[in-house]
Amino acid sequence: MTDPLTVPRSSATRETPGRSRARKGEGELLRDEILDATEGLLEEVGAKEAVTMRAVAERVGVSVPSIYLHFADKDVLFYECCRRNLVELATRLEDAAAGSGTVVERMRRCGEAYLRFGLGQPGQYMTLFGTDIPDTVAPDVAADDPGRRCLEVVVRLIEEGVAAGELRSNLPPLSTAVAVWAAAHGAVNLLLTKRLQTDPHVEIPSGEEVISAVVDLSINGMTA
Amino acid sequence: MTDPLTVPRSSATRETPGRSRARKGEGELLRDEILDATEGLLEEVGAKEAVTMRAVAERVGVSVPSIYLHFADKDVLFYECCRRNLVELATRLEDAAAGSGTVVERMRRCGEAYLRFGLGQPGQYMTLFGTDIPDTVAPDVAADDPGRRCLEVVVRLIEEGVAAGELRSNLPPLSTAVAVWAAAHGAVNLLLTKRLQTDPHVEIPSGEEVISAVVDLSINGMTA
DNA sequence: GCGATAGGTTATCGCCGGTCACTTACCGCT
DNA sequence: AGCGGTAAGTGACCGGCGATAACCTATCGC
């Protein structure tokens, strides 16, 4: 009944004659459009499970299988989509770490930069860091893991601080850096999953308060 | 072609004549069986997206709609499943906080208990804390949020430590407690999502090292 | 001009979460 | 004793999902 989906629309009507999109060497162009559309939808709905391949295809103005010409599967599409912005995060952290001031000051700027980055792009942050690395992208990640690059910045900063006598670290710098990363990651995660706003009649710290509390705690922990 | 699914098997064959399961007031019994099966499957595959309602039904030996007699939807089922064990976590934390020793010692035991709990039940931890609270369970959570109970323990411990002069906290205890929780949560999250084992040729801290690094950092941060 | 092929399309698959209409077995009530 | 009400459970099915198979067609090197 009311069967508008089964109408053949085969080879006579052709109101929208497919999509006029071509140019020989320019398949990469469509690839970028797909990534843009994915990123947009991801930030609109917040989680990749809520973004369907059909929705991406529709936004781009293309059919679903066309996406699979450029990306092996949904996981790869979303990983590539998020990784584009990783350059931005790495850059911000490296800028913050390389700026002027004491190691502690620079470390504080790094922490704030990380937290603000995560909170600024919830969908992408949770897609990148919130769940297991999907099997189909795991081999790729091993060579170029986003989180690992962040970790590197912190490790070097800690080493510098210890060498300068500014920081104390009775554990290996890598272990301490992991702990610092964990604190920042956990804070972003708690805020993005709304774990701090479920109970309206309990006063809860704002995002800014959480950021400064986490940064304070971590830095105090290293200067003790 | 090869249409074994459309075979009627209507009202004559009946090889397995439904499932002999009844008893009037004992529907709750099936409910518990469903929760047990869900928990088992969840820990086997690690994520609720990978556990289908059909798989749960099959393990229990029941049909899919029967599950919906006891749980409104999949989210509610998994939330109830995980919440059962929340009692355990709350108990462990309260035990650790109420034990003997200085506030710092008890705080350390709390941190270790939290981390071990999370690492001990990956599927349930990630289901409870790893993503947004689903809409269908959110109203319920507001009244009895798992994380909130953990937070309470830490807040009281910090207040006690500050009063005893053992801890220093220039921020409100709640803010500091959130930061401590964030550190622990982030550590569990990083470990469970395998963020610390992607690169085989880089030495990475073990789970135990991460635990002690996070606990050290947090406690140092409060005693500075 | 012309065949190869990059760049698409339509149609369909199998599986998922969830619902509907229906049946069965127990139980309180007369 | 037996009968209606209802708790408990079932088979069939829906729309939507990720993914694929088979097919078409405009472009471009030759």
- Does nucleic acid strand C have an atom less than 7 angstroms from the CB of B9? no
- Does nucleic acid strand C have an atom less than 7 angstroms from the CB of A21? yes
Lowest mean pLDDT: which of A113-117, B135-139, B144-148, B207-211?
B144-148
pLDDT reported for residue A142: 61
CA proximity to B34, closest of B7, B2, B59, B6: B59
Nucleotides on strand C lying under 7 Å from protein C-beta: 6-11, 15-21, 24-27
Helix (H) or strand (E) holding A189: helix A173-192
Handedness of CA B153, B155, B156, B162 (dihedral sign): positive
Test A183 with B216 for CB contact under 8 angstroms: no
pLDDT reported for residue B26: 62
Nucleotides on strand D lying under 7 Å from protein C-beta: 7-13, 16-22, 25-28
pLDDT reported for residue B12: 30
Strand segments, DSSP code E, in chain A are: none
Cα A214 from Cα A171, distance rounded (Å): 20
pTM: 0.89
For residue B192, pLDDT over 60 is answered with yes
Six-digit token string for A220: 């105090």
Lowest mean pLDDT: which of A204-208, B51-55, B162-166, B208-212?
A204-208
User: By CA distance, what is B126's nearest residue in A?
Assistant: A131
pLDDT (mean) for B101-110: 95
pLDDT reported for residue B13: 30
Contact between A98 and A127 (Cβ < 8 Å): no
Q: Which residues contact B57 (CB under 8 A, 6 or more apart)?
A: B63, B64, B66, B67
pLDDT reported for residue B58: 95
For residue B3, pLDDT over 60 is answered with no
Helix (H) or strand (E) holding B77: helix B74-84
Cα A15 from Cα B157, distance rounded (Å): 69
pLDDT reported for residue A143: 65
pLDDT (mean) for B184-213: 86
Cα A53 from Cα B32, distance rounded (Å): 37
DSSP track, B119-162:
HHSHHHHHHHHSSPPPTTTHHHHHHS-HHHHHHHHHHHHHHHHH
pLDDT band at residue B149 using 50, 70 and 90 as cut-offs: confident
Chain B residues 26 to 85 with C-beta below 7 Å from nucleic strand D: 26-28, 30, 62-66, 69
Give the pLDDT confidence of B21-76 residue by residue, as tens digits. Answer: 556 556 677 899 999 999 999 999 999 999 999 999 999 999 999 999 999 999 99
pLDDT reported for residue A127: 95
Give the residue, A29 or B187, on which the prediction is more confident: B187
* Nearest protein residue to the C1' atom of C26, measured from CA: B24
Residue B137 CA distance to nucleotide D4 C1' (Å): 38
Six-digit token string for A196: 């701090």
Q: What is the mean pLDDT of each run of 10 residues along chain A (224 residues)?
A: 33 40 66 95 96 96 94 95 88 94 95 95 94 84 72 94 92 94 97 80 82 95 88
